[in-house]
Amino acid sequence: MTPGLTALVSTAATLGVLHTAAGPDHYLPFIVLAKARKWSMAKTLAVTALCGLGHVGSSILIGAVGILFGLGVAKLEIFEGVRGGVAAGLFILFGLGYFLWGLARGLRNRGHHHLHVHADGTVHGDHSSAGGTDGVRAGHVHAEPKPVNVTPWILFTIFVFGPCEPLIPLLMFPAARESAGGVVLVAAVFSLTTIATMAVMVLLPAAGLRLLPMRFLERYLHAVAGFTILACGLGMAFLGL
């Protein structure tokens, strides 16, 4: 590699880590949704990596089109700014909708009692309700329908709209002056460090949350997740996070 390309690759790796760690929207939604939706660590990692791939892949595609057609950095930055506004708006809408759904779900389940039937025929309740002392007399058996899990795909769509701000102006265009191979290398390094940082920032706190007793918040975990996502969207829109 030429000294110039070596510097670009080093910059790509550094910015991949820094821009991810500095943006709470890159990891907080996955942490809270993993807890609320009881995702396994493997699923949490898969959803995070998928969204990270959509996040960097869309900016790489736009940058490649810009290089191919000789578009100026200023034009692409305007387009990336529009994409950022769309991503923030989608985060706000998704977070608000999920918060309201989670709040309604928590209130609806308040005071309900669930009977659990085990394979050996043992029946027990997990909450007491207003009409009973041991939780069994006033309990009722009901099965919650299994929802269609579209949440990962909603997140993926939002992250596809989310731009990687440093990639195009600071990396891809200077790399294009080096060589086509330089563009590929810089984009690959930036992508890998971004996705790897997302995974680390998600998995460590998510693993910690799994160990915390949060039964007092269990009914409202979805509402907490929605509020967190909403806050991320508001931070993107008004604070530039």
Name the β-bridge partners of 123.
117
pLDDT digits (tens, 9 = 90+) for 35-49: 999 999 999 999 999
- Check residues 141 and 107 and name the one with the higher pLDDT: 107
Does 72 have pLDDT greater than 90? no
pLDDT digits (tens, 9 = 90+) for 77-120: 889 889 999 999 999 999 999 999 999 998 987 654 444 545 55
In which band, very low, low, confident or very high, does the pLDDT at 241 lie, cut at 50, 70 and 90? confident
Write out the H or E segment, with its range, that includes residue 161. helix 151-161
Residues in the chain: 241
**Residues 6 or more apart from 237 whose CB is under 8 A from it?**
85, 88, 89, 92
78, with CB counted inside 10 A (0-12, 13-18, 19+), is exposed
Written as one letter, the residue type at 116 is H
pLDDT digits (tens, 9 = 90+) for 189-213: 999 999 999 999 999 999 888 777 6
Does 143 have pLDDT greater than 50? no
